[in-house]
Amino acid sequence: MQAKSRKSLTALAAAPIILSLALTGCGGSNNGGNAGSSQSAGSSPSASASPSGSASASAGASASPSAASGAPVTIDVWANKFEDTTTTWFKKWTDEFNKSQSNIKVNLTIVPGDAWDQKMKAAQAAGKAPDVWTVSYNQVANDAKLGQIQALNDLMDPSVFDDLYPNMKDFVAVGDKFYAYPWLVEPSTVLYYRKDLFKAAGLDPEKPPTTWDELLADGKALTKKGVFGFSTAQVAGDLGWSSWGLQYNAAGHLPITDDWSKADVQNDGYKKLLTFYQQAYQSGIMPKQQLSGYTDAAPFGQGKIAMEANGSWAIGQLRNSFKDMVNNVGVAPMPTIDGNPNNTTATLGGWALAVDGKSEHAKEAAAYISYMLADDPNVVLDYFRGAQFSKFTPRKSVDQAMQSDPVASKDEVRAMIAEKIVPYSKPEPIYPWDISMAFSTAIESAMKGTDVDKALSKAEKDINDYIAKNKLAGTNPKMQ
């Protein structure tokens, strides 16, 4: 009895250490095996197709002997949790896929965004990563380089890639290989405003602001007790990506040179950008503490905010959850630094499905991706319908199908975003997240009162430090 309680005490005492070390401690055997490419700069992308030696399926029918013998092959699929309608779509069509044939059985897991990274790391360390997972476009090139995902050219019917818009092919391509199949794109920054509040404040509801100065002035006019005139990202984590479009707008480029060799922030554009954020925050038209994260339009829907920068997905949220409010909502491109409507105001983010680099059933995994995203346009069209057409398709055939959809074809917001925002948008950068964080920390510190020049100098130093320490110069996978 005593021994037993001692034992559980020991286990208890060891628990924190187990927690901190177990995750990292059990993946050891995964590293053995073949001579992969070295970690150093310039490992060629094609090396990533075979980093895992025996584990990686050699892309062919031989990978699935069990399929022939009758027992279905089970593949695991992890999908990020987005809107509820997305989850519904995933479940519905995964069921349909399982019913449509008897060789492949898909286990779908919806993983919440906060838990994604640690769950995935733990699974990868244990050698139990899912066969198919959702990947963000800005991760594709790096994941491909590191062998986390494998090329789909030999796994899928090559003609499905011809259906993609040319600029979308680039989102998932490294060299001449495609490493994921795109699912959707969505502009990161769109301006939402309340027409009724515009009227009440004496502003013309059909004339949303077009320059940053107008935006600040309108925000001031709209701010009153209980309602903030303007809202956008205000913590470094959200600013990191939501400001990319505005960075292109102000400076014409991002804070690092194309070959990733040094920081590039000391210019007027970046100064104006930081000043804009600083003025928006300090003038009191924004809440001093964010009411909710950047991607969440709930405070706007609840009437606490009169104008808001948010992604195109927000219109879906407003239409699904704030039906009374929708008629009062105006949607416009994010104002530009100089009022030129042809400037970039947003980056195109979005998601794709990819096959894990170590998947033992790569062929089956790719068949699932084809079914969900690449074959019948109606499958993925059902997703866009659920999202209230707030997202955009990378496929020509889906766009055609959408034009014959009665709801989509009459949707003015959709048409506006498709005509005035998407064509000028840029893809998301693929450099390490630390770079974006170093810069967005500068924006946040300017908002919190640091001098703009000082904030930029610190960002420049941090970015250059990171480049030097991590030998980043010349490692851009898109430049090789």
Binding site for other proteins (CB under 8 A): 3, 6-7, 10-11, 14, 16-18, 20-22, 24-25, 27-28, 30-31, 33-39, 48, 51-52, 117-118, 121, 124-125, 129, 142, 146-148, 226, 234-237, 287-291, 304, 357-358, 432-434, 441, 444-445, 448, 469
Tokens 């014409």, residue located: 252
Contact between 116 and 133 under an 8 Å Cβ cutoff? The reply is no
Buried b (16+ CB within 10 A) or exposed e, 304-324: bbbbbbbbbbbbbbbbbebee
- Rounded to a whole number of angstroms, the minimum distance from the CB of residue 295 to other proteins is 14
User: What is the rounded distance in angstroms from the CA atom of residue 475 to the CA atom of residue 467?
Assistant: 10
Task: Return the DSSP state at 129.
Answer: -
| CB closer to other proteins out of 30 and 267 | 30
| CB closer to other proteins out of 355 and 408 | 355
- Rounded to a whole number of angstroms, the minimum distance from the CB of residue 332 to other proteins is 25
User: What is the rounded distance in angstroms from the CA atom of residue 426 to the CA atom of residue 171?
Assistant: 11
| CB closer to other proteins out of 227 and 418 | 227
Query: Tokens standing for 338?
Result: 């100089």
- Rounded to a whole number of angstroms, the minimum distance from the CB of residue 357 to other proteins is 5
Task: Return the DSSP state at 45.
Answer: G
| CB closer to other proteins out of 269 and 287 | 287
CA-based end-to-end distance of the chain: 66
Helix (H/G/I), strand (E/B), else coil: 437: helix
- Rounded to a whole number of angstroms, the minimum distance from the CB of residue 50 to other proteins is 11
Contact between 348 and 427 under an 8 Å Cβ cutoff? The reply is yes
User: What is the rounded distance in angstroms from the CA atom of residue 220 to the CA atom of residue 199?
Assistant: 14
User: What is the rounded distance in angstroms from the CA atom of residue 103 to the CA atom of residue 329?
Assistant: 48
- Rounded to a whole number of angstroms, the minimum distance from the CB of residue 204 to other proteins is 28
- Rounded to a whole number of angstroms, the minimum distance from the CB of residue 400 to other proteins is 38
Helix (H/G/I), strand (E/B), else coil: 184: strand
Buried b (16+ CB within 10 A) or exposed e, 266-297: eeebbbbbbebbbbbbeeebbbeebbeebbeb
| CB closer to other proteins out of 127 and 341 | 127
Question: How far is residue 20 from each of residues 12, 121, 122, measured CA to CA in Å?
Answer: 14, 14, 12
The values of phi and psi at residue 310, to 5°, are: -155, 170
Contact between 24 and 126 under an 8 Å Cβ cutoff? The reply is no
| CB closer to other proteins out of 359 and 388 | 359
| CB closer to other proteins out of 198 and 466 | 466
Question: How far is residue 419 from each of residues 392, 422, 424, measured CA to CA in Å?
Answer: 12, 7, 9
- Rounded to a whole number of angstroms, the minimum distance from the CB of residue 354 to other proteins is 13
Report which residue type is found at 242. Answer: S
| CB closer to other proteins out of 264 and 434 | 434
Q: Given the DSSP bridges, would you call strands 104-111 and 73-80 parallel, antiparallel or unpaired?
A: parallel
DSSP string, 464-479: HHHHHHTT-TT--GGG
> How many other CB atoms are found less than 10 A from the CB of residue 214?
15
- Rounded to a whole number of angstroms, the minimum distance from the CB of residue 10 to other proteins is 5
- Rounded to a whole number of angstroms, the minimum distance from the CB of residue 359 to other proteins is 12
| CB closer to other proteins out of 23 and 422 | 23
| CB closer to other proteins out of 185 and 355 | 355
**How far is residue 269 CA from its own chain's centroid?**
25
| CB closer to other proteins out of 356 and 411 | 356
- Rounded to a whole number of angstroms, the minimum distance from the CB of residue 356 to other proteins is 9
- Rounded to a whole number of angstroms, the minimum distance from the CB of residue 5 to other proteins is 11
Contact between 353 and 373 under an 8 Å Cβ cutoff? The reply is yes
